Structure 1
Amino acid sequence: MLPLDDLTVLDFSTLLPGPLASLFLAEAGAHVIRIERPGGEDLRRFPPRFGETSAPYAVLNRGKASVEIDLKAGDALARLTSLIAGADILIEQFRPGVMERLGFGFEALTRINPRLIYCSISGYGQSGPRAGEAGHDINYQAIGGLLGQSLKRGEPPPLPPPLVADIAGGTMPALLNILLALRQRERSGKGCHLDIAMSDAMPTFAWYGLAQGQTSGRYPEGGEGLLTGASPRYGLYATADGWFLAVGALEPKFWQIFCDTIGLEPELRDDRTDPQATRTAIAAILAGQSAAHWRDQLEPRDCCCTVVRTLDEALADPHQTARGLFDAQAEEPGGRRLVSTPLPLAPVFRDKMAALRKVAASGEDTEDVLG
């Protein structure tokens, strides 16, 4: 048994946050039905191609049914009424007001199914001055103060690789709140409307800066936080071959091992005296040897120092493979397979019998589901 194998999810969302949330639910046993516009959602056209479909679409949508329907059509609600009546969860990702204009708003659907948990994921939420404003991950990080934690004034800014707002601000809060709503429904018998704003979660990641600013009277600027550049014990250092070592030796015992291993001068080990001098000396030492050298020297010492892995190296890493992160595979209609998006589900909740799941063609299940 899987924890959600008695639940039905209607996924009206597109691109990343909503589909990743419904993938979590599907992997935990839920029956997920994608509601797509005629021709399929936009992500199906994103490169690179994977056989007959898109690789980005495939890794997010394995094991889900697909129904094509024009939500603007006059009979759309009537055709989906029985499906809505039997559903447990609905996920949508339109701008606020769009589902209402289409006749699929929370108030309309809760009359059909009072137990429906209706989850809306948007950039700025269903209310507030920016509710109708467009945005992407980088915009939500910017307005929430998260980008400002790592940018130094006047210096070239790096683009953050993780889509923090989409996944940690959209997918994860949606999942958390859906599970809370299911627990609440057990008691009340009623569903609810979940308003998930991706930008709401961004100040959560600035928790240390918020605490520091309110007590000291001055909020840290870019590079001034303990974990954003102020400490030589936490950061990225270049190696002789142009790659990087990630150093996180914050605690005294890890710091001591790190300093002993690289041979840092004793007078520089008290990094509170002159942090920049300590950082400069460490950078010079680490730049004198290759990444492979520091991997052999530091990683076995268990001092929170790790050579940065490329994505293909991560796929082959013995620890990652032992954890089963890359076991799940998606199969497109032509029979080709690729590793699906790894999900941090506890092993006890993973469906080991469904390691390989099909990616449905757009509208493939329309007749079966609506018929």
Structure 2
Amino acid sequence: MGALTGIRIVEFGGIGPGPFAGMMLADHGAEVIRIERPGAIFGPHALARSRRAIGVELKSSGGIATARELCAGADGIIEGFRPGVMERLGLGPDVLIGANPRLVYGRMTGWGQEGPLSNAPGHDINYMAVAGLLDGIGAPDQPPVAPANYVADFGGGGMLLAFGMVSALLAVKMGAPGQVVDAAMTDGAALLASMSWGFKAAGMWRDGPGANLLSGASPFYRCYACADGRHVAVGAIEPQFYAALVAGLGEDGGGQMDASQWPERARRFAAAFAKRSRDEWVLHFSSDACVSPVLTFDEAAAHPHNVARGTFVGDAPTPAPRFSATPASAPTAPRWISGEQNEL
């Protein structure tokens, strides 16, 4: 019995961050019913797990009536269409909350429900760019590099929507009315950079890729190539961890925070790491050096720590976070409601 057992969510079919939010809610016990186009393929990826789907044609009056009926009995909905689409379908907040005053209406968009870009197309890389995050990611003197679509889509988008939904559902439980949760990926991406904005306010931030302590400028917080072409990740920020790192490399560690020494020290560290394979270095260092192997997906699934914790099940991560009194159930395969049949 997960922490959200007893909560019913209607998820309007989409891609990326909306399904991720639905997955998080379903992982922790919510009953999530996904409205899909008739004949659509539902699953089998992890984002579709632990919920049921129903084929509904939203271009027909009967389909709209079915959607309204589902939402009338729900605690919350999730939709990821561009602004105005749900209103044109007759499924906007005024209609659905009007019929169900306790409904939490979750909206997932790139740019938000209003603003000059609200109806513009975009993807994770665009939202990160406008939020100011992309400028600092990558190697110095090279164009910025997008970290896949983890930041705006899933961190600033889906995870923030899930947080917003749970917060609004809790408010309803405490006596508040239903409301709209406007989760914009550009807002969420900006929020994830709160610590960096703190550095900027303190005069400790430099614009540009690889220019800051945690983005590649420092020799003790970056990745290095090893003799076998694999990599290690080094995160030896605190003095005691840095001391273990330089001792293991046989290097002089004086002036750790003297940024003028960083380029030369990084060059020497890189030359040292290039002399042994990744796994040899991992065995060589104690855990105090904060040196870790950069693992592939398959390697991560087989790593002893992840195996011990059950971090992965099958070909996907397990639900997180973990609850002591209301643990999440094991994820289940998505399935269609009633007689709707599609290959998953």
Establish whether TM, by shorter chain, passes 0.5. Answer: yes
Cα distance, 1:272 vs structure 2: 4.1
Match of 2:77 in 1: 90
| Cα RMSD after superposing both structures | 2.2
* Secondary structure in structure 2 of the residue aligned to 1:121: strand
Q: Are 1:34 and 2:34 matched, yes or no?
A: yes
CA spacing shift, 1:272–1:174, aligned 2, 3 Å: same
1:341–1:34 CA distance, 2 compared to 1 (3 A): farther
- From 170, 174, 181, the equivalent of 1:187 is 174
1:68 aligns with 2:55: yes
Query: How far, CA to CA, are the matches of 1:68 and 1:6 in structure 2?
Result: 23
Deviation of 1:7 after TM superposition, in Å, equals: 1.1
Partner of residue 360, structure 1: 335
Residue by residue over 1:137-193, the C-alpha shift from the partner in whole angstroms, topping out at 9 and shown as x without a partner, is: 111111111110124564255442352111101111111111110121122252100
Return the alpha-carbon distance in structure 1 between the equivalents of residues 339 and 181 of structure 2: 27
Counterpart of 2:118, as a letter, is A
C-alpha deviation, 1:218, in angstroms: 7.0
Matches of 1:275 and 1:132, distance apart in 2 = 44
Q: Aligned partners of 2:106, 2:339: CA distance in 1, in Å?
A: 23
AA aligned opposite 1:246:
A
2:46 alignment partner in structure 1: 59
Q: Please tell me whether residue 350 in structure 1 is matched to residue 327 in structure 2.
A: yes
The 1-side partners of 2:176 and 2:323 are apart by 30
Does 2:177 correspond to 1:202? no
Look up the match of 1:47: none
How far the C-alpha of 1:112 sits from its partner, in A, is 1.1
Alignment match of 2:275 (pick from 288, 295, 302): 288
The counterpart of 1:301, out of the listed 276, 287, 292, is: 287
Identity %: 36
Q: Offset at 1:202?
A: 1.8
- Report the equivalent of 2:312: 326
Q: 1:80/1:8 Cα in 2 relative to 1: closer, same or farther (>3 Å)?
A: same
Cα distance per residue 1:311-345 (max 9 Å; x no partner): 10111111112212223xxxxxxxxxx53443322
Inter-partner Cα distance in structure 2 for 1:279 and 1:88: 54
* In 2, Cα distance between equivalents of 1:217 and 1:228: 13
Distance 1:70 1:160 in 2: 36
Distance 1:88 1:172 in 2: 19
Residue identity opposite 2:181 in structure 1 = L
Secondary structure of 2:61's partner?
Answer: coil
Structure 2: how far apart are the matches of 1:38 and 1:3? 32
Contact 2:156–2:187 (CA under 8 A) maintained in structure 1: yes
Distance of aligned partners of 1:67 and 1:155 in 2 relative to their CA distance in 1, 3 Å threshold:
same
Are the aligned partners of 1:326 and 1:339 in contact in 2 as well (CA < 8 Å)? yes
Shift of 1:356: 5.5
Say whether residues 1:259 and 2:246 are aligned partners.
Answer: yes
Tell me by how many angstroms 1:266 deviates.
Answer: 5.3
Partner Cα separation in structure 2 for residue 214 and residue 286 of structure 1: 35
Describe how 1:221-240 pairs up with structure 2 within 5 A: 221-240=208-227
Deviations 1:267-286 (A, max 9, x none): 67675451111111111111
Deviation of 1:250 after TM superposition, in Å, equals: 0.5
CA contact (8 A) 2:143 2:209 kept: no
Question: Residues 138 and 210 of structure 2 are in contact (CA less than 8 Å); yes or no, is this contact kept in structure 1?
Answer: yes
Equivalent residue pairs, number = 339
Is the CA contact (8 Å cut-off) linking 2:226 and 2:232 kept in structure 1? yes
